[in-house]
Amino acid sequence: MRHSVPKRVPYYTRSSLWISLLAIVLILSGCGSSAGTGTESVQAANGGTGGTLTYALATTPDTLDPQRSGWAVSVRVFGNIYDNLVVQDQDGKIKPWLAKSWTTSTDGLSYTFKLRKDVTFHDGTPFNAEAVKFNLDRIINPATKAANALALIQPYQSSNVIDEYTIKVNLSRPSEAFLANLSQSMLGIISPTAAKKYGEQFGQHPVGTGPFEFVSWEDNASIKLKRNDHYAWGPETVDNTKAPQLDGITFSIIPEEATRVGSVQSKQVLAAETVPPQNILGLQNSPDQQLLQTDTPGLPYTLFINQRNAPWNELKARQALQSAIDVGAIVKTLYLGTYKQAWSALTPSILGYDASLENKIQPNVERANQLLDELGWTRGADGIRVKDGKRLVLRYVDSSPNREKRNDIAAMVQQQLKAVGIEVQVNITKDIATVVFQNKAYDLYGNSQVNADPNALSSFYHTPAAGARETLTGYSDPQLDTWLEEGAVTKDSSKREQIYRQIQERISDQALIIPVYIFPYTVVASKSVHGLHFNYLGYPVFNDVTLTGTGG
Amino acid sequence: MKALFGIATVNRRDAANHALQAESQGWKKQKRQQWFSLLLAGLASALVALLIVFALVPQWIAPYSPTAMMTDRILQPPGTANWLGTDYFGRDILSLVIYGTRVSLLIGFSSVLAGVLAGGILGALAGYAGGWTDTIIMRMMDILMTIPGVLLALAIAAALGPGLPNIVLAIAAASIPGYARVMRGGIVGLRTRGYIESARALGASNWHVIRRHILPNAVSPVLVMATIGLGSSILTGAGLSFLGLGTVSEIPDWGALLSQGRGYLTVAWWICTFPGLAITSFVLAVNLIGDELRDRLDPRVGA
């Protein structure tokens, strides 16, 4: 069979052409994963009502059960569904919320809260002392498998319902952090009826008393909330204590940073969180968008050295890491001056922050080499150190997707440690729960925590009680334990500051961690979004948000 | 019988013959175009040869180490110190592209080799044995063919997890049905030829007939297809790597480079563009060579 071809002109380019086209598509495909969630907000805004705020998140929440969640991104969502007994204002002072007032016993071991009487949960369940007792008891019940909430509620022991709207909370020892912790969304009050009804599934069917009600959750795509029309018990930290103006909030999950920011520019969403540093400068001068930014207090993003395994159980080996890793270069290179370098186990805004640690440990390759030489690790043929036939390997675990360029930190640490003869095996995994918390198959793993009180250090550095979650460092130090216990109960604030300064210095001297950066929570939003602000912990608050124009 | 292969093929010399019959002026034009396509193929071969040199001895060519992070020179546009600019770690893009050649080419060549071997053997078996063997093998190939190649590779790579052997396996598996079909088509066509029957009549064994008479004649279309397949394999490899299913190593391949640079497309276009150009030009070159090869090896031309 013969072919007759009328024109043979560009025959050789045909197959090549579509392949080249494919290559171009490949380059551009990074921009294609978000879908038009914004259209409905435009319609709603036009409809004369408050409109729907579309808000792009960088990662997906783990659960919307506040007591079982450990992630800041979850708080950004469920912080709207739940209210707390108390609230912390911009100066860190504790103010009433669901609790109208409270008294503390002289020994500091019990708190008596008078509760508001006009509050109901989204499902109609009345809010009262029984509901609060149910919440607090649920957290310490091992069957709940509570996460961060369990650490926050320490040293809670029990509570007594005095009357329908009065509850007495008993602690096993005094705690200066207790009230501040009660203001955290992870201790938000959940509906006892719904918690009993849904059991394990409560995290997918959250019910609270907050300004927004849960509507739906599409896995890895979006979470929809709508206005709670009955809401009338907002705290004094917001202007609008009644039902919000917004009809609802749709959180879209867009992990790809360029796509997330691009979605605001293309008006597919009205706001997006975690703006990549390379885009911040450009957005600051944008005519259509505004850039909102707040530093998050608590524990900065910190690399924890797991000292369960040799050689990292030796101080000199850990000090070698401290000297070999040039954090300053990492922060400057990756964040282009938009993130601040962290120097201590706490962020600067926390009580007791030890500013004397700033600039104390400087990168020093010679010192790192010298320390490793002293430990008997000698350079092999390929430059990696060897001792007794074993290569000096460091397992660096980080999670995927590449949030806040943390995977890139791993790549830089890998190169910096290679220079002193340490082979870094980078393991980027989606399954942190198994790799880090279950198998402990890491030598270096980074984490951070949003918190308002220095007592947050306890769950990271105090020897865990039997059965409690183990610490990332696996380090047990009686001196640290004593100080951390003292810090929690000391009332005199200058004494308390002194204790936490000692703690930070000890953590630094023992080379348990490498602090990296203080995370600025950044949001890029359309200029039609008004009244979006952040609470004391840097979480967005939507009570006062209004939309103008056509939603774009 | 050649329909299968013929569909994908457009024969230059057929066209040339037509033109010859038409008018001598057209013939001259055709001659010129022949030279032009030969020249293109020559240039393409030179480019491929250069990239192979890059892959073999990148350390002789690259101006910097691909892992050297010059943090005082991040996001530099192309210039005299860094010809193709630097990325957000301060790594030299030119050096990264040169070093990235190795893994990219390794993925391309080894997956084509594996695909050709597996597909060729299956196709030869089906074509020569015929009957039930043929039906079973080819229907299985049909099933595989219903899934788009990239999608199949994606599914396999996602199931096996990231890593060089897995990505090669995924791409090879996706290309097997194509090679099997071409091989089978060629062999079915040859099986009933007179010289094959004569060889049989002389008492030659199956093995002898396959080895001496069938394979040498059936292999050239597969060879052409493999050349063009090399381009698409590298492209698929880059795609999988872009999506994070590729190799995990200190020295990224082209696809991984694209992926790392895409967040910076609006502020530093050069991070993505040059690895992208490397992929495009390699795929283009391989296709040009494949086209030229096809013309030369096409049995219908009888040259």
Residues B73 and B36: beta-carbon distance below 8 Å: no
What predicted TM-score, i.e. pTM, was given to this entire model? 0.81
pLDDT at residue A39 tops 50: no
The encoded tokens of residue A29 equal 């495909």
What is the average pLDDT score of chain A?
89
Nearest CA in chain A to B293: A12
DSSP β-bridge partners for residue A250: A54, A224
Chain A residues whose CB is inside 8 A of the B287 CB are 12, 15-16, 19
Name the minimum distance, in Å, from the CA of B118 to any CA of chain A.
Answer: 24
pLDDT digits (tens, 9 = 90+) for B98-155: 999 999 999 999 999 999 999 999 999 999 888 999 999 999 999 988 988 888 888 8
Name the minimum distance, in Å, from the CA of B68 to any CA of chain A.
Answer: 8
**pLDDT at res. B15:** 56
pLDDT at residue B240 tops 60: yes
Whole-number Å distance between alpha carbons of A404 and A452: 22
Q: Do A12 and B37 touch (CB under 8 A)?
A: yes
Residues A301 and A516: beta-carbon distance below 8 Å: yes
pLDDT at residue A418 tops 90: yes
In this structure, how many other beta carbons lie within 10 angstroms of the beta carbon of residue B117?
Answer: 13
Residue among A1, A27, A257 whose CB faces B3 most closely: A1
pLDDT band with cut points at 50, 70 and 90 for residue B299:
low
Q: Do B18 and A428 touch (CB under 8 A)?
A: no
Continuous H helices in B130-253: 131-146, 149-160, 164-191, 194-201, 206-208, 215-242
Whole-number Å distance between alpha carbons of B66 and A468: 45
pLDDT digits (tens, 9 = 90+) for B46-69: 999 999 999 999 999 999 999 999
B276 vs A286, higher pLDDT: B276
pLDDT band with cut points at 50, 70 and 90 for residue B20:
low
Give percent above pLDDT 90 in chain A. Answer: 77
- What is the number of residues in chain A? 552
Give percent above pLDDT 70 in chain A. Answer: 90
Chain A residues whose CB is inside 8 A of the B6 CB are 1, 3
Q: What is the 3-state secondary structure (H, E, C) of B9-28?
A: CCCHHHHHHHHHHHCHHHHH
CB of A258 within 8 Å of a chain B CB? The answer is yes
pLDDT at residue A27 tops 50: no
Q: Which domains does chain B have, with CATH numbers?
A: 51-302 (1.10.3720.10)
Q: Do B283 and A16 touch (CB under 8 A)?
A: yes
The encoded tokens of residue A157 equal 């022991």
Tell how strand A212-218 and strand A222-227 pair up. antiparallel
pLDDT digits (tens, 9 = 90+) for B283-294: 999 999 988 888
Size of interface A-B (CB pairs under 8 A): 119
The encoded tokens of residue A98 equal 């669901």
pLDDT band with cut points at 50, 70 and 90 for residue B79:
very high
Query: Mean pLDDT lowest for which of A7-21, A40-54, A320-334, A370-384?
Result: A7-21
CB of A15 within 8 Å of a chain B CB? The answer is yes
Nearest CA in chain B to A255: B263
Q: Do B258 and A415 touch (CB under 8 A)?
A: no
**pLDDT at res. A363:** 95
pLDDT digits (tens, 9 = 90+) for A306-343: 999 989 999 999 999 999 999 999 999 999 989 999 99
**pLDDT at res. A436:** 92
Residues B63 and B92: beta-carbon distance below 8 Å: yes
DSSP state of B86: B
Residue among A3, A336, A415 whose CB faces B69 most closely: A415
CB of A414 within 8 Å of a chain B CB? The answer is yes
DSSP state of A189: P
**pLDDT at res. B142:** 93
Q: Do A276 and B263 touch (CB under 8 A)?
A: yes
